[in-house]
A and B are shown apart, each in its own frame.
Chain A
Amino acid sequence: MEQHCEQSPPRAREEEEGANSGGVEGGEEDEKILHFLDSLDSYLTLMDSLSSTLRRGWLELAGARHSMGSSRISGALLSHRVQSAATTMQVTEPNDKSETESQAHFTISKWAHMREGKCSGEVEVGGFQNKSSGSELRHRVPSNFPEGCKESYSAVNGSPIATDSNIQQERSKSLSIFGTLVPPKLRAAQVSFETALDSIVELANMRSMVLSSFAQLQQEMKSSS
């Protein structure tokens, strides 16, 4: 009788094993669902943050227009001369595009301008780090950018180059479209839109994550049905 009690019947063992494996799979699915919902929530939060930053920028632009005059700040003043963007993006796409777990990663370089092959001014603001890829992109976020005076270095030609003055130069160049002397409101608007760009980079990365985790969930649902 003791021997009979020690060994559980085979059928009960099979049911227990089935429940355990189902539990493990269910746990993985729950994790994917949570990951998807988290990324969705982050996307909405970032969009809310972007909305408030843009509102501030528009208000400051309206204030600048009020002090300078409507004709002094308009699309008609935008130059059609050849010019390259001072703020650019870096996009890293996964090696194997059939993999749904990896997604494109966006990084912004503000006020970077290539002159004669040398990078004269560069401040990188990394977006969201994709943990699954293990990418090793540099991530430098000045704590008080853009008001701070921290130096950043370019490694293009191996020698450090002070870039703060160049960054200020690039900023002034952008402002000069609207005249030599611009009101503080216009400078404040410039800062607000620069801040908005950070949110936009985060949003682009979060969008990639939402779509990637959604694709994983769809695959999961198809395989389970």
Chain B
Amino acid sequence: MAGRAQIPTKNSALIAMIADEDTVVGFLLAGVGDVDLRRKRNYFIVDSKTTVKAIEDAFKDFTTREDIAIVLISQYIANMIRFRVDSYNKPVPAILEIPSKDHPYDPTQDSVLSRVRYLFSAESVASSRY
């Protein structure tokens, strides 16, 4: 345990958001909004006209940027790109699925919980016995 010091790897990292307007506006009020010199923002507002491709591109962009520590994504939006979210397995940036105004949080759909759920399934219990 001793000697395994942790090294700060990211200072002043950002929180990115892929969510509906109210959620994004709320978090921007809390001071997380950022627009860099290339006019790239750390938030992406999803409305009824937003395409799945645009959401996928935003997700890919935020998860590959070096300056982002956490990506907040409304769960109902994550469901639109579920394959991408579930296949993401890096520790940083951390992907957090959050509820939205019209869609409450459902733990059965959360990618983190579904990943660990198999530990409680009948198959895993049966296989551990033999």
> Which A residues between 142 and 190 are near B, CB-CB below 8 angstroms?
170-171, 174-175, 177, 186, 189-190
Known: A43-B112, A174-B30, A225-B128. 19 other contacts (CB 8 A): A36-B119, A40-B113, A50-B99, A54-B26, A61-B25, A74-B21, A74-B25, A80-B39, A85-B34, A85-B42, A87-B32, A93-B7, A103-B91, A135-B6, A189-B26, A193-B30, A204-B70, A217-B119, A221-B128
Is B57 positioned at the interface, with any CB of A under 8 Å from its CB? no
Residues of A within 8 A of B6 (CB): 92-95, 102, 105, 130, 133, 135
Selected interface stretch from A10-18, A20-28, A208-216: A208-216
- Bound CA span A177–B76, Å: 28
Distance A89 CA – B99 CA, assembled complex (angstroms): 21
Q: How far is the CB of B65 from chain A (nearest CB, A)?
A: 13
Q: Does A197 contact B (CB under 8 A)?
A: yes
Specify which chain B residues have a CB less than 8 angstroms from the CB of A189 in the assembled complex.
26, 29
In the complex, what distance in Å separates the CA atom of A93 from the CA atom of B110? 24
A152 CB, nearest partner CB in chain B, Å? 16
Query: Using a Cβ–Cβ cut-off of 8 Å, how many residues does chain B contribute to the interface with A?
Result: 56
Which of B9, B15, B107, B116 has a CB less than 8 Å from the CB of A200? B15
Query: Is B91 a contact of A93 with CB atoms below 8 Å?
Result: yes
Which residues 66-90 of A sit at the B interface, judged by CB distance below 8 A?
73-75, 78-90
Q: Bin the interface of chain A by size.
A: 35 or more
A196, B29: Cβ atoms closer than 8 Å: no
Complex: A221 Cα to B119 Cα, angstroms: 10
A217 to B113, CA, bound (A): 15
Let me know if B48 is at the binding interface, CB within 8 A: no
Q: Are A214 and B116 in contact (CB under 8 A)?
A: yes
